[in-house]
Amino acid sequence: MTFTQTGDPTIREHVQAWQQLGVDQQLALFWFVYKEMGGSITPAAPGASTVSPEIAEGLFNQVKELSHEEQLQVQRDLINKVDTQISREYGSLGDTTKLLFWYRLSQGMDQGTIIPVPSDYELPSECQQLLGRIQGLEFEQQITLFRDYVSPMGAEAKAGAEI
């Protein structure tokens, strides 16, 4: 699995801070990023030149068919790089397609087809601080941050029919 990470030290610092959070905190932060900034980010993900919307949609549909608890486990497995079929399929995606997949998960959460963050959930203070720092980045830096965050997730694809 290969991914490109920016050399921008600010972006790297933000990605590392995000990755140091607990898995469920990472997921919650991603949700709050989508809720707070989705209007500016979403036009960039689906329209990017290297994105494969059909592939992202296919993987999303696999997750959508699972129970809510299984959907949550898939997301946790992606972050933890657990070797599952969905995680390997995700690992074989291009960086921008991975970003679109997470965007589709967020849309699914809005629509109720993907397990939502509990309505009474409050983002921990360390996550709120990181969210504020992310909001302070330039738009291009935000997109690079999100791409660098989602890129290393998932597991290595396997050769041949074992994908």
For residue 63, how far is the Cα from the chain centroid? 14
Domains of the chain, by residue range, sit at 25-38+49-151
Mean pLDDT by 10 residues, the chain (163 residues): 68 94 94 78 50 88 98 98 96 90 92 92 94 92 91 83 49
For residue 52, how far is the Cα from the chain centroid? 16
**CATH top class, domain 25-38+49-151:** mainly alpha
| Torsion of the alpha carbons at 17, 18, 19 and 20, rounded to the nearest 10 | 50
- The 10 Å Cβ neighbour count of residue 19 is 13
For residue 100, how far is the Cα from the chain centroid? 8
pLDDT in the model for residue 40: 60
Q: What is the pTM of this model?
A: 0.86
Question: CB under 8 Å to 7, separation ≥6 — which residues?
Answer: none
Q: 160 near 22, Cβ under 8 Å? A: no
Query: How many Å apart are CA 51 and CA 102, to the nearest integer?
Result: 13
| 161 DSSP assignment | G
